Chains A and B, each alone.
Chain A
Amino acid sequence: MKRLHNAVVWKLVIILFIGVLPLSLYGQDEKIAPVTGTYAITNVNITQAPGRTIQLGTVVVKDGMITAVGKTVSIPADAKIIKADSMYLYAGFIDGLSHVGVDMPKEEEDQDVDDPSNPPNDIAGIQPDRDVRGLLNPADKSVDDWRKLGFTAAHVVPEGRMLPGSGAIVLLSGDTPDEMVYRSGTSLFSQLRGASGIYPNTVIGVMAKYRDLYRNASYAKSYKQRYEQDGAGMERPVSDRVLEAFYPVIDKRIPVAFKAESVLDIQRVFILKNDLGFNLMLGEVKQGWDVIDKIKSANASVFLSLELPELKEEKEKDSTDTDEGDTKKELTAAEEEQQRLDARKKEMILNHYKQPALFTANGVKFGFSTLEAKSKDIKSNLSKMVENGLSEDAALTALTTAPAQLLGLSNTMGTVDAGKIANLVISDKPYFDEKSNVKMVFVDGKLFEYDDKPKKKKSDGEDIDPIGSWSYSTETPQGTTTGTLKITGEAGDYSGEMTNSQTGETTSISDIAISGTSMTYSFQINAGGNMLSISVSVTIDGETFDGTMTVGSYGSFPVEGERIPEQ
């Protein structure tokens, strides 16, 4: 009970610190209301749809819609004219499966369930009745981050475990969740992710539970139908929100949106689809290249992940450095092996890069998803895909018309045509040009302008300043732990303390050391009478950090955090 109370408090803390404060920061720009909602973007290179372009034309936006597109169109008198000379305009991008704008305080796992073999649904991660609308935060930083990349709409789903809830099509502007929502109840979001330490915990548990729920829902649904036709003399069907959430899936009114990154998870989802027969939307696909035929025959809508593994080529540089003169050095067995291993790894990474091109070549329509992607990587990842064979048209298709079709939005989104919602992105150079910058984005007719401020570059070797408060969270086999980290003092003499929001305990941390962007510290916890030494090593990147926490000999676990802005 006490823990639950803590949880509520912690949720409040998160909302207060991470939720509301950014609202006031990012909200400031919008406080000054625009004079008019009518715009004419002139002298702009328009790509209405992939392969359909107009050079130096005009787009008129009014009442949230595109009202005219063409070489010569009449400009309404109340229009604010935007001279977009030599800039490039595209339909706003659509993120096919995303957590953008979802305000999810990291929920701690409450291990204290009475019966771990039969935990309450919500603790077990079985919350298909949850609606992502209740979790949207228009001021979430990610909304602006995504918009800045050109995304104007997204298929947003809640975070969670096995069944986090239903998704919605969301426009990336608006002051309230309802203003943002274009369409709700669009999919039943599902993952092969088990609960921590309770049933269903593993992928085999999740898949069994999924079948059990789905079939129960089918029985419940048909009984309910019978009851509604002629209920006299029949036992009253009991209301069950979890099972009812499956009804539109069983009726094939909405698909199951399944997150499946690895080649094995993708095929596990197919096992479930074959057993149960639902319509499938496959999201965050990272390793689909070997199962294209299976994807085709499953008739699944596909969204490929915009997260890519990083290809580090330092090794090769190193080896060329050691070449003295032009004499070819005999490679040792170890060096040869290293080269072979590096080559295989590179091959594997390139498979990720080439995947979208391969899907295109195989005639599989796909969009992109960002459940795992970080905003700072998305544009460069798109470039990597283009460098590895994805045509710019195909890339644009995957960002606009394809997701519009796969999500049933083609009537109103995906192209620059009169009558569609005014979701537009304007860049100073062709979007896929490495040096392009997004200058303006229209979402639902609202204009967002972006100056490319030169990023504050940290000079090499200079130590960052960790002082302040940070939120942190870490994943261990026992579940997620969250809390705050407070660092005071001055360079060379830092001190700090951390508060575990699950236990409410405050512990002092020691050995805080900064080197460049990396920070290390350690602390001790009391584990059943034994003092356990824990050391943490993270890299700070601006306002966030991530790294690992090593718990004695028990292993290491990821830890990440975010600076809590000062009041």
Chain B
Amino acid sequence: MKNNITLILALLLAFAASAQQKGDVLIKNGTVLTITNGDLAETDVLIRDGKISKIGKGLKAPSGAKTIDATGMYVMPGIIDAHSHIALDAVNEATSPVTAEVFTGDAVDPLDVSIYRALAGGVTTSHAMHGSANAVGGQCETIKHRYGTVDPEALKMKGAPRTIKFALGENPTRVHGAGNNMVPRTRMGVEAVFRNSFSEAQEYMAAWNEYNVNKSKKGFKGAPPKYDLRLETLADILKGEIIIHCHSYRADEIYMLMQVCKDFGIKRLVFQHVNEGFKVAPELAEFGAGASVFADWWAYKFEVYYSTAYNATILSENGVVTSINSDSGELIRHLYHEAAKTQKYGGLTDKDALSMITINPAKQLGIEDRVGSIEEGKEGDIAIFNNHPLSIYAIPMYTIIDGVLQFDRQNDPDDMRIYVNPEEKIDVTFSQNDHTVDRCMQGTEFLFKN
């Protein structure tokens, strides 16, 4: 009994020590699904110092490196979720239609056991997003699931591009228009919020440029413009430093945001959910916007009533970079199964289906040169399955991040909490499968009670 506890603690400590660490692993003799370079039978993958150093046959493990026998198993790149809210203490600053200044990176919660559950589904990277209560939501953080640490910084994927959440349609109009009687109450208002925000940001940039040019001049008497973190952030979007990830459903609003972005010279744009993206697929492809979709969610609210589970296929066939996301602590655990639904709904190839949860979301997050495929030089993020990951009979067996084994189905204990709530006695029994509220609306529920 006592030994068990000691074991758990030792394991946890081992995890804590491994946070941010880079490891060496040799994965032997698996079927390697590289995504970008075909499938390689009975092939080894060697990870050294956190990076994939060699892919080939008969590789030798360097001394001290862990070896995983993947005979009969499938080795794929760590799964990437372009839309999630796990590992966050706060999701929505729902008090204003524009909150570009807030940042989910400030609320990263490395203690969330959902991170481990995602690992147990082969997911190594997720996009910890702000919610969809505001037309311009907050900036988001791209995290790696380095579970086992109390340090939020250890989860952050340093160097990943900045991203920000936008939202269209029912959520922002409901929260602000219906809830607080302020713009936007309609999709017209949503557009106006964007145009106002970007126009103000242009003025703001101009004012600061003028000030910075003049301030070193002799005898300059001017005052600096009022500093505004919100406008600073919007200005960074205009400068192309931040990728917009926009919660959207209806074709008309998707089209609207593309027009707004064209008018303001914004090029980096990914639509999230985008249930009616298939209706404007040619326009999305032409713009070069990404689409990050649910495999089959629909009808839980009116703006997704005219949806189809063939969305991903239609988008993909029209040349839109498309990913399948979870937006849920439940779905994130079986994204490989969600990706397989593109084969049921539209008959995508294995490679195209798997791209939806690997290289495509990587592209949407601007991290495709680091993760999303098994290539030499890329980061050692790997998921290993006992069966082909698109099969219903696939079980994730190992998940590796930066060459460090983060999930091992055979050896991990049941209780994977890092901190235990000292006050808690009776445990939360959540009611499951409630699609009435988007996870995106987390933290705004109380606005709608009564």
Using a CB–CB distance below 8 Å, which chain A residues touch chain B?
Answer: 115-118, 197-205, 207-209, 211-212, 215-216, 219, 223, 233-235, 237, 263-264, 267-268, 271, 287, 290-291, 294, 309, 336, 339-341, 343-345, 347-349, 352, 477-478, 527-528, 530, 554
Alpha-carbon gap, A118 to B8, bound state (A): 48
Q: Is the CB of B449 within 8 A of A200?
A: no
Partner-contacting stretch, out of B98-106, B296-304, B381-389: B98-106
Alpha-carbon gap, A344 to B419, bound state (A): 9
Q: Say yes or no for B240: interface residue by CB 8 A criterion.
A: no
A446 to chain B, nearest CB (A): 40
Interface residues of B in 406-442 (CB under 8 A from A): 415, 417, 419-424
Alpha-carbon gap, A298 to B432, bound state (A): 43
Q: Say yes or no for B276: interface residue by CB 8 A criterion.
A: no
Alpha-carbon gap, A235 to B211, bound state (A): 14
| B interface size (C-beta, 8 A) | 55
Q: What are the interface flags for B151-177 relative to A under an 8 Å C-beta threshold, 1 for contact and 0 otherwise?
A: 111000000000000000000000000
Across the interface, which residues of B come within 8 angstroms of A309, CB to CB? 422-423
Q: Say yes or no for B92: interface residue by CB 8 A criterion.
A: yes
Q: Is the CB of A341 within 8 A of B415?
A: yes
Q: Contacts A216-B226, A340-B4; is A291 near B150 (CB within 8 Å)?
A: yes
Q: Is the CB of A204 within 8 A of B422?
A: no
Alpha-carbon gap, A200 to B5, bound state (A): 42
Tell me which of A215, A271, A345, A530 contacts B420 (CB under 8 A): A345
Q: Say yes or no for B223: interface residue by CB 8 A criterion.
A: yes
Q: Contacts A208-B101, A208-B103; is A343 near B5 (CB within 8 Å)?
A: yes
Q: Is the CB of A223 within 8 A of B90?
A: no
B8 to chain A, nearest CB (A): 8
Across the interface, which residues of B come within 8 angstroms of A117, CB to CB? 95-98, 180, 182
Q: Is the CB of B96 within 8 A of A199?
A: yes
Across the interface, which residues of A come within 8 angstroms of B102, CB to CB? 202, 204-205, 207-208
Q: Say yes or no for B265: interface residue by CB 8 A criterion.
A: no
Across the interface, which residues of B come within 8 angstroms of A223, CB to CB? 223-224
Alpha-carbon gap, A324 to B419, bound state (A): 35
A534 to chain B, nearest CB (A): 13
Across the interface, which residues of B come within 8 angstroms of A528, CB to CB? 450
Across the interface, which residues of A come within 8 angstroms of B89, CB to CB? 203, 264
Alpha-carbon gap, A556 to B299, bound state (A): 31
Alpha-carbon gap, A553 to B107, bound state (A): 28
Alpha-carbon gap, A345 to B103, bound state (A): 32
Sample 9 A-B pairs with CB under 8 A, ordered by A number.
A116-B95, A116-B96, A201-B94, A267-B153, A271-B106, A343-B5, A344-B420, A345-B420, A347-B5
Q: Contacts A198-B95, A203-B90, A205-B95; is A268 near B1 (CB within 8 Å)?
A: no
Closest B-chain residue to A345, C-beta based?
A: B420
Q: Contacts A117-B97, A267-B152; is A235 near B223 (CB within 8 Å)?
A: yes
Q: Is the CB of A339 within 8 A of B1?
A: yes
Across the interface, which residues of B come within 8 angstroms of A345, CB to CB? 420, 422, 424
Alpha-carbon gap, A117 to B89, bound state (A): 21
Q: Say yes or no for B327: interface residue by CB 8 A criterion.
A: no
Alpha-carbon gap, A294 to B151, bound state (A): 10
Across the interface, which residues of B come within 8 angstroms of A219, CB to CB? 224, 226-227
Q: Say yes or no for B81: interface residue by CB 8 A criterion.
A: no
Q: What are the interface flags for B91-134 relative to A under an 8 Å C-beta threshold, 1 for contact and 0 otherwise?
A: 01111111101111011011100000000000000000010000
Alpha-carbon gap, A233 to B223, bound state (A): 11
Complex A-B, nearest 9 residue pairs according to Cβ-Cβ distance, in ascending order: A117-B96, A477-B446, A309-B422, A202-B90, A205-B93, A199-B95, A208-B101, A212-B229, A204-B102
Q: Is the CB of A208 within 8 A of B95?
A: no
New A-B contacts (5) at CB < 8 Å, excluding given A204-B130, A352-B422:
A116-B180, A204-B138, A212-B228, A219-B224, A344-B420
Closest B-chain residue to A270, C-beta based?
A: B153
A532 to chain B, nearest CB (A): 8
Alpha-carbon gap, A264 to B112, bound state (A): 11
Q: Contacts A208-B101, A215-B229; is A197 near B420 (CB within 8 Å)?
A: no
Q: Is the CB of B106 within 8 A of A268?
A: yes
Q: Is the CB of A215 within 8 A of B152?
A: no
Closest B-chain residue to A286, C-beta based?
A: B422
Q: Is the CB of A211 within 8 A of B229?
A: yes
Across the interface, which residues of A come within 8 angstroms of B423, CB to CB? 309
Q: Contacts A116-B95, A197-B95; is A340 near B5 (CB within 8 Å)?
A: yes
B423 to chain A, nearest CB (A): 6
Alpha-carbon gap, A223 to B97, bound state (A): 31
Alpha-carbon gap, A212 to B110, bound state (A): 26
Alpha-carbon gap, A215 to B92, bound state (A): 24
Across the interface, which residues of B come within 8 angstroms of A341, CB to CB? 415, 420
Q: Is the CB of B420 within 8 A of A264?
A: no
Q: Is the CB of A201 within 8 A of B95?
A: yes
Q: Say yes or no for B9: interface residue by CB 8 A criterion.
A: yes
Alpha-carbon gap, A209 to B106, bound state (A): 12
Q: Say yes or no for B221: interface residue by CB 8 A criterion.
A: yes
Q: Say yes or no for B329: interface residue by CB 8 A criterion.
A: no
Across the interface, which residues of A come within 8 angstroms of B4, CB to CB? 340
Alpha-carbon gap, A28 to B98, bound state (A): 57
Closest B-chain residue to A197, C-beta based?
A: B95
Closest B-chain residue to A289, C-beta based?
A: B150
Q: Contacts A197-B95, A208-B103, A309-B423; is A202 near B443 (CB within 8 Å)?
A: yes
Q: Is the CB of A348 within 8 A of B419?
A: yes
Q: What are the interface flags for B196-234 relative to A under an 8 Å C-beta threshold, 1 for contact and 0 otherwise?
A: 000000000000000000000000011110111110000
Across the interface, which residues of A come within 8 angstroms of B421, CB to CB? 348
Q: Is the CB of B150 within 8 A of A290?
A: yes
A198 to chain B, nearest CB (A): 5
Across the interface, which residues of A come within 8 angstroms of B153, CB to CB? 267
Closest B-chain residue to A349, C-beta based?
A: B422
Across the interface, which residues of A come within 8 angstroms of B419, CB to CB? 263, 287, 348
Across the interface, which residues of B come within 8 angstroms of A199, CB to CB? 93, 95-96, 99
B236 to chain A, nearest CB (A): 14
Across the interface, which residues of B come within 8 angstroms of A115, CB to CB? 182
Q: Is the CB of B227 within 8 A of A216?
A: yes
Q: Is the CB of A267 within 8 A of B1?
A: no
Q: Contacts A347-B420, A352-B422; is A215 near B227 (CB within 8 Å)?
A: yes
Q: Is the CB of B226 within 8 A of A204?
A: no
Alpha-carbon gap, A438 to B422, bound state (A): 31
Alpha-carbon gap, A233 to B447, bound state (A): 50
A125 to chain B, nearest CB (A): 12
Across the interface, which residues of A come within 8 angstroms of B1, CB to CB? 336, 339-340
Alpha-carbon gap, A65 to B130, bound state (A): 57
Q: Is the CB of A478 within 8 A of B446?
A: yes
A401 to chain B, nearest CB (A): 30
Across the interface, which residues of B come within 8 angstroms of A344, CB to CB? 5, 8, 415, 417, 420
A202, A215, A345: most-surrounded residue (chain B CB, <10 A)? A202
Alpha-carbon gap, A223 to B4, bound state (A): 63
Tell me which of A209, A237, A268, A348 contacts B422 (CB under 8 A): A348
Q: Is the CB of B223 within 8 A of A527?
A: no
Alpha-carbon gap, A294 to B152, bound state (A): 12
A206 to chain B, nearest CB (A): 9
Q: What are the interface flags for B275-292 relative to A under an 8 Å C-beta threshold, 1 for contact and 0 otherwise?
A: 000000000000000000
A199 to chain B, nearest CB (A): 4
Interface residues of B in 1-55 (CB under 8 A from A): 1, 4-5, 8-9, 16
Tell me which of B8, B111, B450 contacts A264 (CB under 8 A): B111
B109 to chain A, nearest CB (A): 6
B441 to chain A, nearest CB (A): 13
A263, A309, A349: most-surrounded residue (chain B CB, <10 A)? A263
Alpha-carbon gap, A339 to B92, bound state (A): 38
Alpha-carbon gap, A352 to B415, bound state (A): 21
Alpha-carbon gap, A16 to B89, bound state (A): 40
Q: Is the CB of A347 within 8 A of B9?
A: yes
